[in-house]
Each structure stands twice: as structure tokens, then as C-alpha cells.
Amino acid sequence: MARNGGGGGDAGEGEWLKVAELRAMAESQDPHAKEVDNLTLRRFLRARDQNVEKASAMLVKAIRWRKEAVPGGSVPEESVRRDLADDKVFMGGVDRTGRPILLAFPAKHFSAKRDMPQFKSYVVYLLDSICARIPRGQEKFVCIVDLKGWGYSNCDIRAYIAAIEIMQNYYPERLGKALMIHVPYMFMKAWKMIYPFIDNVTRDKFVFVDDKNLQEVLHQEIDDSQIPDTLGGKLAPISLKNNARSLTA
């Protein structure tokens, strides 16, 4: 469970005391909690509004989920190759605060060809990939969800809910903001079905951007050199399937 650390908001002495309390409680429930770093503990604490008991229950559940879902510690690329081949997700640059950007294209996802266990592994793979890019001094990433071309064949409520639940339950306080762009009217019907499954903390992070305000919002959030070229910027995003190679090149 230990992940790339970083800042993400100053913590006062009182919060660090709660982190220590959370560690003690979690370790008494699952010895594997000893492997979790303090910044991760703090994220779980913040995800549960500083309630140590609730944060401990959430953390222990996440530890046990991780051991079952990712027994080897990481998702092998070959196990998610089919989803990677669809080029649904790209790695972008960083926003003005230094948070790495994930660029998603839901119109490249088709419900008819989705295999749920493989899709869940793919979600873990992409979340681990973007979290690995979070620099020291940050704890969150930004997601641009480009819904251009999205239609009924792409609508997959079960998959969307599964992805959101994995993110909010097992990667708490990692998403900084999700910019929803080029949103077709019909998507809002799907969103009404997804919305109840999103917790209150995460809901506020989804921002729907009108097409007429898109460039203004992008330039407020991101320097032109870091805006994806698909959105009029200067940066060529890296496909998730090529991400591991780009990090080792």
C-alpha cells in the first residue's frame, strides 16, 4: 500500500497525532498496516473527515483488497493488454500546481467487448501508473475526461461505477480534479445513474466544462506547454500502453 508520497496540504500537529492513532488502530487490526507510510495514512484519514475509526476500517479493507486484487504487487502489462490496445487513456503533462495529468477518452471504450475482471485490473494498472508519476510535494493527479464522440455503444454504467469505487475506496485523496469536456447531452442521463455511487468528497472534484469555456478553463488550470495537442496545446500525450517504456527510456 505504500505509494509515492508528497505534500498535498499542510498537516497540523493535531492531524499528525491522529495519523499516529490511526496507525496504532490499523496495525492492531491488520499487521500489514505497518508497511503503509504516514502520507498514505493521512489520505485515508482525510477521506473519512478525520474519523480515526472509519479511516482504519477503510484502510484495512484497502490493504486486504490490494493483496487479493494485486497479489504480485503490480498488475502485469500482459493481463491488461486488450484494454491498453484501445488507447483509452494517455499520460499528459502537469497542471499549474505540478499535478500530473491523465487524459481519458471514454468513446474508445465499448461495453460489448468489456470483461469486468480484466477492466478492474486495467483501472488498477492506470491508477498505479498515474500515481507513480506524482512528484514529491504533491499527492494528487488531475484527469481530463474527453467525451467527444461518446454514444450509446460506449455507455457502460457498471464499468464506470466499478472504476469510481476502486478510485475512491482504495486510492483516496489521489484525484485532485476531473475536468469533464465535450460532454454530449445523452451522457448526462448516464451520469444521473453514476452520481449516487460517488461519495460526497469525490463528487465535488468532477467539473463539467462548457465547450465555449473550454480553452479559458484549460489555460487557467494548465500552462500552454502542458496542454495536450489534441486540445490545442503543445504537448503530445503518451499512450498508457507506452507509459512504462517512457519512464525507463
Per the structure block, which three cell numbers stand in for 100? 500530473
Does position 86 have pLDDT exceeding 60, yes or no?
A: yes
Per the structure block, which three cell numbers stand in for 217? 478553463
Q: How long is the chain?
A: 249
In this structure, CATH architecture of domain 77-248 = 3-Layer(aba) Sandwich (3.40)
Per the structure block, which three cell numbers stand in for 230? 489534441
- Region 26-36: mean pLDDT is 96
pTM of the model: 0.90
Per the structure block, which three cell numbers stand in for 118? 480484466
Bridge-based pairing of strands 100-104 and 89-94 is: antiparallel
Does position 200 have pLDDT exceeding 60, yes or no?
A: yes
- Calpha distance 241→239 (Å, rounded): 5
Does position 177 have pLDDT exceeding 70, yes or no?
A: yes
Put the strands of the sheet holding 100-104 in their side by side order: 206-208, 175-181, 141-146, 100-104, 89-94, 238-239
Does position 46 have pLDDT exceeding 90, yes or no?
A: yes
- Calpha distance 100→174 (Å, rounded): 11
* Residue 14 exposed, middle or buried by CB count within 10 Å (0-12, 13-18, 19+): exposed
Per the structure block, which three cell numbers stand in for 157? 454504467
Please report which confidence band the pLDDT of residue 5 belongs to, taking 50, 70 and 90 as the band edges: very low
Please report the pLDDT score of residue 79 as a whole number: 93
What residues does 235 pair with on adjacent strands?
228
What is the overall mean pLDDT for the chain? 92
Please report the pLDDT score of residue 243 as a whole number: 76
Please report which confidence band the pLDDT of residue 8 belongs to, taking 50, 70 and 90 as the band edges: very low
SS3 30: coil
Please report the pLDDT score of residue 11 as a whole number: 59
Q: What is the pLDDT of residues 91-109, one digit of tens each?
A: 999 999 999 999 999 999 9
